[in-house]
Amino acid sequence: MKNEVYNQFPLHLVLLCVVVNILIYLIGAYLIAPLGKIFVVLYLLYCLGMEIRVSIMSCRDCYYYGKLCAFGRGKICSLLFRKGSPERFKKKKISWINLVPDFLVSLIPLAIGVFCLVQSFSWLRLSFILVLVMIAFPVTGFLRGSISCKFCKQKEIGCPAIQLFAKNDQNA
């Protein structure tokens, strides 16, 4: 049986994915806060930069441009950037190296949080570190695999992320 795809994602799923992303940014900011406000600002600017990067490099060319995608970026992107080319999206190639900047959104605050935890133990800081690990990796992985990618129309057209993640599945 073929999976259903969404021409536009239901609002409750979009809100779930957006809340998870915002929680990652907020917990990251909390873990960086002991270094000073300037580092929190720099971190949040980095997160914003990653959102803009994804919008420019992917969302402009995606099927969901101007529509509700799982992350709400299709609608937002259409307000900020001109539509790109769906053919360019389909032909784009990505590797794990291309994802490093995205992983740094979680890895930087985790490293700083652990460093601060070693310097001065705090149950609250440890709790936030553990929550960030859970949200950034298994929860985000679940949301992408079970919601965003599973019901995405773009995968039928051609998606470089599906190509990257499905490489092992195709060899099985």
Return the higher-pLDDT residue of 154 and 170.
154
Does any domain span residue 3? no
Does any domain span residue 50? yes
Instruction: Classify residue 43 by its DSSP letter.
Output: H
Q: How many distinct structural domains can be found in the chain?
A: 1
Taking 80 as the threshold, does the pLDDT of residue 165 lie above it?
no
Note if the pTM is more than 0.85. yes
Does any domain span residue 171? no
Q: Where are the alpha helices (DSSP H) in the chain?
A: 11-32, 37-57, 73-80, 86-91, 100-119, 123-134, 140-143, 154-157, 160-165, 167-171
Enclosing domain of residue 21: 11-165
**Could you report the per-residue pLDDT of 86-125, keeping only the tens digit for each?**
888 888 888 889 899 999 999 999 999 999 999 999 999 9
Does any domain span residue 147? yes
Does any domain span residue 5? no
Does any domain span residue 2? no
Instruction: Classify residue 152 by its DSSP letter.
Output: B
pLDDT for 18: 97
